[in-house]
Structure 1
Amino acid sequence: MRIPRKLRLSFILICVSAAIMMAVFFATIMMIRASIESNNLSRTIEAQAMSLETAILRQNSQFRGFLVTGDETYLKSYYEGRDEFDKVVVELKGQLGDAEKQALLEKSRLATLAWRADWGDRIIAEVRAGKREQAQQDVRDAGKKVLVSDAVLPLRDLREAEAAVTEKNLERQQAAIVTAIIALIVGGIALITIAMVLSAMLSRMIARPITVLTEAMGQLAKGDNDIVVDASHADELGDMARAVLVFRDTALAKAEAERSKAAADLAKDAAEREKIVADAAQRHVVEELDTALEALAAGDLTHTIRTPFAPEYERLRTAFNVAVQGLEESLASVAGSAQSVRLGATQICSASETLSLRTEQQASSLQQTTTATNHVTDMVGDTARSAAHARNAITLANGDAADGRVIVEEAIVAMDAIKAGSQEIGEIINMIDAIALQTNLLALNAGVEAARAGDAGRGFAVVAGEVRELAKRTVDAAKDIKQLISKSSDEVRLGVDRVGETSEMLARVVSKIGDANTLIVDIAQGAQIQSENLKQVNSAVGSMDRMTQQNAAMAEEATAAARILATEADELATLVSRFRLNTTTSAAPAPRRDTASAPGPAPKVIRTFGALALSSEAADDDWSEF
């Protein structure tokens, strides 16, 4: 039997055992899944049945609350419970598959509809029609007929039936779990046993012969051609053994061929050594030129070829060294010229920037002076106008102060009247407090009587509780109002005292206003004269400011030109700095001096002179004029 067939049969046996175990395990899992789904459905039905029962009881309680109080807010909850009942009944009917359970649901639905028609909707309509007392009497006379037990009890039976189904499903689920555990244990033991038996058989039939063949092949690889191999097996191991014997015979033939080849190789090596000597000389020239050209490509002009070449290649080395030396001298000259241009441009730029900064500082100072003068002029003008307005305002204030004394006296009389009214309100609040206390006692007695009446008096108990709560809130409100009135009386008394003091103060204010009026007239006249003088000063400073700004624009143009020249010199020096030279002149761009930091910090300048610098008048100016 061939090895693949042996392995195939072994794996088929293991797979069949595993398939049997998985089938049993899958069946138990499906059983558990069915039980879980059934439990979920039963719990959903129980929850919906509980929702129906709650909706029925909600309709009953809100119906009784509306019957007792006549409050429309109870109807909102009543109708919500009715709608919820109708909605859940439709949903639950589609989920029930048992005819007996559907009959229980239908019985509850019909009983609920009958209760609505006979009591709920009918009594609500009578109360809305103004017949609440008659409706209350009908409910008392009906006794147990008005109860919703016929609608609630079928729902409870339905919930008990679903609870029993859930219990049975749990028992089936537990049994399925036990079956799965047993199948897993038994199947695992069987698989382990089969695997161990097959492992021992395959080791004896395959692994041991392979080990013998491996040792024989190792000896053959080491050059030991005197090996003995058993080639009697009829499977792949026999084929491998016969192949090893072929390798042994081939190795013997190869050893004989190598001995013949060794003699021919000795003659060939002598000719190759002569060729290697010639190739070495040419390779040395190529390597030296390659190194020199790489250095030249990297910008290193100091590199030359110092090692002598063979006589036939020596002219090539001399020509390369002369060319590199000439290029190095030319670039060194260019670097020196770029350095000189850069230094000159830097000095011009530094001087121009210093001049520009000083001019900007002067322009800024003049502009600040102009701004300050304008501000002072405006302030003086505003002072004159404000003095005139103040004079008029003081005249009006004098009249208002006189009228204020009359109003203050009238306020004192009004506050006395408010104080008397507060005392009368306090007496009324005491009366309300007493009435609320009596109402609370009556509501308490009504609640006791309603409790004695049992279910028939439950609605009256709700009303009594509401009345007690209303009486309690009335007492609290009366206490708060009483405290507020007491506080208001104290505030009114304090206000009367303050108003008297205000009347005396107004008399003194009228006297001082007259004196202030005379002083303000003098201030207004002096401010008008100062305003005219400051306008003349402001005009002169403005002329100086415009001239200084034109000068600053010229200085900035010169600075910009110097910066451009320095930038171009730096770019040239940067290009030259890529090359390594033998001269001492540095081709690297020198760091630019921060000329803007030489003078002191200049104040911020409002650059209003850009248009002036570009105008035809500024274009005609020259440095001598500056």
Structure 2
Amino acid sequence: MFKAMKIPRKLGLSFLTICATAAIVMLVFYSSISSIRGSTDANNLSQSIYAKAQALETALLRQNSQMRGFLVTADETYLKSYNEGRDDYDKTSAELETLLKDPKLKDALVKSREETLKWRKDWSDRLIAKVKAGQRDAAEADVRAAGKAVLTSAAVLPLREIKDAQTAAIEQNGARQESAIGTALFVLVIGAIALIGIAITLAVVLTRLIASPISGLTRTMADLAAGRNDIAVPDADRRDELGDMARAVLVFRDAAVAKQAADAANAKAEAAQKMVVETVSAQLSELAGGNLTAEISQAFPGEYEAVKTNFNAAVTELRTLIASVMESTAAINTGSNEIAQASEDLARRTEANAASLEETAAAVTQMNGRLRATADAANRTVARADETIATVTDGRETADEAMQAMTRVADSAKGIDSVIEGLDKIAFQTRVLAMNAAVEAGRAGEAGRGFAVVADLVSALAMRAEEEAGRARDQLTATQTDIVSAVDAVQKVDGALANISTGVGEVHSLLGEMASDNQAQATAISEVSTAIGAMDQSTQQNAAMVEQTSAAARHLASEVTTLSEQARRFKVGETGRATPRAAARGGFDISAKPLPAAAVTALTRPANGAALDDWQSF
């Protein structure tokens, strides 16, 4: 059936097969590229939403930590950082709201914002105002009394819902990208193999069905030109243009045989026939060499004009078809180059995304290191605070022992005062006794004079004892006053140490909370760094697969170029289009004068132009 088909229909069907296969490959590849582009855009949106949600969480934690730092130190630097975190949260929240399309995620963002505003109103703004008003102790007392109520957990949890949703979306988009890229690669490979196989098969088939018969007809015409009229004409039973040409050659052979048998002396007819045979043979040789511009321009005798007209019409149709094949292969080559260029552009954008993700991962890693260093510093500060509390506790115990010792000294001073009072009484009684002894010595006269001297000495000693007792009492009184002052000072020191112990305990509590917050932030940023690292690896893999897709598209363009070069072996002239006359006639013209009566059969061919009309419709 394919052998009996007209040449334009054969070539049209062959080219239709190639174009249909290429169209299917390009359609599936375009669908895959569109899917990859959609997944990439969705992935970029999810990454942007995730980054902004993470920025909101970081801003909240920053406000909380800087507010606590301001409460502890009243340093305006913490307040400045707090205001910056507050502004970052408000700005990022507004930007994130424009990106969110899911009502559930929008509700989570609104809930986080409401909880943040409530936390600012109930805690941060109120406590900062107290500190500015000089009521830092009251603000710290409020924080200690509030416990976990002062934390920002209620505002952070909705943001983590948004982050979890975006992480799942990123994984889904990545899976879709990998599936689309795999499909595109599979289609490109299979399509390239199919196109190569079809092109080779059609080249072999068309060579056997068109080129080989043309070469056979050329050899037959050469034999006829050499005077061999007993040869067999091949392919006379075909119903295509080559069959028409073979039957025309058969007519030539039969006419030559008939003319040779009827009138061998008709030199003029032989010369005309020889000229026709040689001309047709030369043009068929040109056709066999790929020159589709080889038309018969030499005038034929009236009975052979139909051969010239039909030959030229067949060559014109074949030239038009091959020219169309060349134009179509050029169009396919252009489309393949555009596909390859689009794949390369997508690869460059994917590589740029991978580079941005790598920079983001490095920045998050650096931030994680700083937060961990801050947490370690806070833990060391807590340890130092514990040591300070222990030192203050030891100082209070020492002060208490000193107070007890001074109390004992005061008690001992009271006992010494009693002893001095007893000595004073003894001195007074001794002086009285000395006075009595002096009186008795005066009564004794000369015999008691020595006793009177002793009585004076005893009285003087008693007076001196009274004086020394007085000085001892004064000294003891001064000592007791100093002891009382020392006891008061030690009590004040003990009170100051108690206040220091209380303050250090509060600082210890606040530093512990700050260390916990910093540790939580470091853990969260570590998770973010891990997620961004996975995203970076996935994006780099996508870039590599897109580069493979671009290489496959370039390979397809190369194969189409090879097909085009094979088509260019045919010479089709400047325009490569059928002449108006041939297009209007639609095939070989056998309406001219009939062949001589000596011919066995006349050339026959349908004049409806079905083959050319079918090709033009295609």
Q: What TM-score, normalized to structure 1?
A: 0.39
Q: What TM-score, normalized to structure 2?
A: 0.39
Greater relative contact order (Cα 8 A, min sep 6): structure 1 or 2? 2
